[in-house]
């Protein structure tokens, strides 16, 4: 990438702010800074080589990943203003052709002007030229010329609320809730009062009976059948 496009770039400028802040707080590791170092701290995932190329281009890192003398002096500055001036000198020296053309106005050129410069200088595409412009603007902001991107707020997980609700009772079987079904006996049929009844009585009178016997038979019939309530 560096051979084809002399001016380095990265897809996102936030990683530049992260690595600079990290090196200011933690200092440079004795083994140097390389892609493995960035992976360990979680900076520029899958874009580590692009970020290393930028740091080498502006003179922060030597070819072996160690800090250059100029970088050591810049990153040892405790006050932000002193660091920004020293870091700005590194950027200005790296982009000397741009500053030779636009002088100190280079720091505040708008993005379209920067894209035009990088595309005509390196013959890059619109996409690469845009990324080169954004990279320079990020370096300018770190140098005190421009605003740094807002930091993403880390969302803390919401505390789990205690479950004060009583667990719902398990559904019981229908027969357990309602109880056994009582079978009501059928209501007795009422006998209508106007029910008529016809009784046919066949009487065989004894042939040897007398009048008194016949009278007793008919009297018994009247008493027990006809006049009975």
In this structure, is residue 82 part of a structural domain?
yes
The answer to the question of residue 59 being in a domain is yes
Do 49 and 43 form a contact (C-beta atoms < 8 A)?
Answer: no
Q: If you average pLDDT over residues 174-201, what whole number do you get?
A: 54
The listed range with the strongest mean pLDDT (129-143, 147-161, 213-227) is: 129-143
pLDDT (0 to 100) of residue 2: 40
Q: Establish if 154 belongs to a structural domain.
A: no
Would you say residue 42 lies in a domain?
yes
Dihedral sign for Cα atoms in the order 215, 218, 219, 220: positive
Query: Mean pLDDT in the chain?
Result: 81
- Mean pLDDT, range 164-191, rounded to an integer: 54
- Which tokens go with 102? 């636009």
Tell me if 223 is assigned to some domain.
no
User: pLDDT value at position 159?
Assistant: 55
What is the predicted pLDDT for the residue at 187? 57
| pTM score | 0.63
Please give the tally of structural domains in the chain.
Answer: 1
Per-range mean pLDDT, top range of 23-27, 48-52, 205-209:
48-52
The pLDDT value recorded for residue 84 is 97
**Residue 153 within any structural domain of the chain:** no
Name the residue range of residue 97's domain: 14-142
Whether 88 maps to a domain, the answer reads yes
Q: Is there a domain that residue 194 lies in? A: no
- Do 33 and 61 form a contact (C-beta atoms < 8 A)? yes
């Amino acid at each position: 990438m560096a051979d084809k496009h002399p001016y380095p770039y990265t897809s996102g400028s936030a990683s530049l702010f992260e690595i600079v802040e990290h090196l200011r707080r933690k200092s440079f590791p004795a083994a140097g800074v390389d892609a493995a170092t960035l992976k360990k701290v979680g900076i520029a995932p899958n874009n580590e080589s692009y970020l290393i190329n930028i740091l080498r281009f502006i003179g922060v890192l030597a070819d072996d990943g160690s800090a250059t003398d100029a970088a050591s002096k810049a990153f040892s500055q405790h006050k932000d203003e002193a660091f920004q001036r020293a870091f700005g000198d590194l950027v200005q020296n790296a982009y000397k052709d741009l500053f030779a053309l636009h002088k100190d106005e280079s720091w505040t050129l708008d993005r379209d002007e920067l894209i035009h410069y990088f595309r005509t200088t390196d013959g890059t595409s619109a996409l690469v030229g845009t990324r080169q412009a954004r990279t320079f603007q990020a370096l300018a902001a770190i140098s005190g010329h421009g605003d740094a991107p807002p930091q993403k707020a880390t969302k803390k997980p919401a505390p789990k609320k205690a479950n004060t609700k009583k667990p719902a009772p398990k559904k019981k079987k229908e027969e357990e809730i309602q109880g056994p079904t009582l079978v009501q006996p059928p209501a007795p049929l009422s006998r209508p009062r106007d029910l008529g009844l016809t009784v046919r009585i066949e009487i065989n009178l004894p042939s040897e009976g007398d009048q008194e016997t016949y009278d007793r038979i008919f009297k018994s019939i009247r008493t027990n059948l006809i006049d009975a309530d």
